[in-house]
Chain A
Amino acid sequence: MENTINLSLLDGVLSEYAEVKGSLITILQHTQEIYGYLPKEAIELISEKTGIATSDIMGVGTFYTQFRFEPVGKYLIMLCQGTACHVNSSELILQTIQDELGIDDGQTTEDGLFSLKCVACLGCCSLSPVMMINEDTYGSLTPDKTKKILKELREAAL
């Protein structure tokens, strides 16, 4: 999955925001939308265009949980571990995902299909326990329902 980074994809974002003060987080968000993570080459280019030192960019990037520095899988599972989900046994769902995929929080499966990230609340607490996979939210999860969802996604990707 080694691919070179096409930095020209950043042209639009940088021409819109590089000169606007206070836009670093916005630029990083757009960058992550494009590449799925923050590649080193992109950070260097952002530094060059905005005049913000790479160390400062890394300081901001590592502070916020949204930002990643490694590519993620085709399906990014955001599993809620907020209070309501905790009370409704989200721990069991975490266990199920770990057993099914063999990955922990922050890891990606070897086939590059799934990444897992635990988050604090997706705002759908009345359907707890909840997870979001890419753009779709799945609620009222049980271990069986979770297995089924993972299986369907794996089949869809084949």
Chain B
Amino acid sequence: MRIVIGQGSCGIAAGAEKVRKALLNVDVRCDISITGCIGMCYLEPIVDIYDDNNTLTRLVKVSETDAQAIADYVNNGDKSAVEKLIVTEEDSQFLTKQTRIALRNCGIINPEEITAYTATGGYDALKKALGMTPEEVIDIIKVSGLAGRGGAGFPTWFKWNAARQSAGEEKYLICNADEGDPGAFMDRAVIESDPHNLIEGMLIGAYAIGAKHAVVYVRAEYPLAIKRLKNAILQATEAGIIGENIFGSNFSCDFMIKAGAGAFVCGEETALIESLEGHRGMPRLKPPFPAQSGFWRKPSNINNVETFANVAWIINNGGEAFAAMGTEGSKGTKVFAVTGKVKRSGLVEIPMGKTLRDVIFDIGGGMKTDKPFKAVQMGGPSGGCIPADLIDTVIDYKALGATGAIMGSGGMVVMDESTCMVGMAKFFLDFTAKESCGKCIHCRIGTKRMLEMLERITNGDGKEGDIELLEELCYSEYEAHIHDKKCPAGECSALIEYTINADKCRGCTLCARNCPVGAITGTVKNPHVIDTDKCIKCGKCYSVCRFDAVVKA
């Protein structure tokens, strides 16, 4: 028999460490170890007991006073005293209804031992990738359809390829572990529970783009994640998996952790790079994209933690296996941090194509209060609230985007009728006003003025005309978005259109050769044309054109 205690941050906060200490103080005749976040956060502290056939008995909401009862069960097989702690069938379904790829080891293996990871086949994918050419690796990622899990959902292979193609010897691979959206904790869970999976995904990415340096930028509020990742990097270095000539190949890569210092905007990739360089985290203008000029102005590629957490699985199982899950436009699985008024709050990983109802009601168990479901907030400050009548929306980048919210990084804050939506708007304005980096006037001043107004309204001092004024402050921009389908700031990629000015185009074919989706046609020395239906608005043509002929509007 062996005992495994869930010790992610939330488990520890719920008292898991006290339980572990209590167990060490009674006479328990078996091995006691730890694991990361099981994902059933609403049942913490959780104690798993595996018998010699590896059959699991899961005890939930355990407290230190249960230690003796657990000892009696382990030592004498006396189940009576622990019976009341055993997880119910209904609660077990919280996990059995999930499909876990990024979280496959979370809550199962010991995150502080590299041998626990290698025993599951860990680092085999890296070995396999090193036997291929970088182009072959990128191709597998392309077939998988993996898209960035940090929010925007940009095809991962495309970014890798751009960084690979970018000229220069010195390149950087960066992991965005800033996890700035309040209500999101998927990335924390991955790092705390399976840090080697992140390292392996990053090393494969570094090999693919030709980077010799890997950097992880972790949010300062995650001390345990930083500690476990540091430990994992040390172990991997000792095992020859990080450093020179990895697994005897020509590939060498070092690793560095940088802790953030508490600024939401640093989750944006160019602001993150500024912060890595030791500056104020103010975003840079794009283009140039990081693939051309990133960390220390060298070609760099930035991906989110969850994006990397899928990579080793994809290399091991093939791109097709990943692409077999999901919808036409969104492949594989997605991890959500489900919180708020939901009954079963925790981590849910499901294939794309499921609905919000599946997550919130079928897996999440609906509301924990007796009030009806009102809305779910997705995508953090950059996202929106999806109301109850859209609960059957499919989890897919496009379908969620059409509701006005976004897929986002995976935070799902569930609200019942007791949450005020004006209060929610005020909450986010307060957040954005505080977190504005101050570079652009709309954000710096606009959020403040709107916040003042909402404060008045929520204080009962709302005046006739406030709605109109609120509208006016952002109206023209909203109007442009809605009526003209244009984003005046050129930010909302869904509303940008790239076209070619035939007078300026010399027919050099550079744009057509660089287009990742073959949306540009034309013959040499004749003006080219962009097929706007095919165009994915990556901006590549815009940045490569030497004659200013590509128009972004």
Contact = CB atoms under 8 A, between A and B. Distances in A.
Interface of A: 21-26, 28-29, 59-60, 63-67, 78, 82-88, 119-128, 130, 135-140
Contacts of B337: 125-126
Contacts, number: 134
Interface residues of B, number: 54
B345 interface: yes
A28 B259 CA distance: 11
Contacts of A59: 280
B415 A87 contact: yes
Contact of B13 (A82, A120, A137): A137
Given A87-B341, A137-B9, A139-B14, A24 B278 contact: yes
A84 B263 contact: no
Given A84-B182, A86-B427, A126 B419 contact: no
Given A83-B377, A130-B13, A138-B13, 13 more contacts: A22-B278, A29-B220, A64-B261, A82-B182, A83-B413, A83-B427, A86-B424, A123-B9, A123-B221, A125-B183, A125-B345, A136-B13, A139-B10
A123 B185 contact: yes
B129 to A, nearest CB: 29
Contact of A64 (B185, B262, B346): B262
A116 B380 CA distance: 24
B431 A120 contact: yes
B484 interface: no
B411 interface: yes
Nearest to B223: A135
Contacts of B44: 126-127
A29 B280 contact: no
A126 B261 contact: no
B185 A124 contact: yes
Interface of B: 9-10, 12-14, 41-42, 44, 179-185, 188, 219-223, 258-264, 275-281, 296, 337, 339-341, 345-346, 377, 380, 411, 413-415, 419, 424, 427, 431, 435, 437
Contact of B261 (A66, A86, A127, A140): A66
Contacts of A88: 340-341
Nearest to A135: B223
Contact of A128 (B181, B264, B339): B339
B278 A127 contact: no
Nearest to A20: B278
B261 A121 contact: no
Q: Lowest 5 CB-CB distances: which A-B pairs, in order?
A: A82-B182, A126-B41, A64-B261, A137-B13, A121-B182
Contacts of B341: 87-88
Contact of A82 (B9, B183, B219, B260): B183
A85 B341 CA distance: 10
Contacts of B221: 78, 119, 121-123
A53 to B, nearest CB: 13
A65 B262 contact: yes
A126 B345 contact: yes
A87 B419 CA distance: 6
A119 B537 CA distance: 36
B448 to A, nearest CB: 17
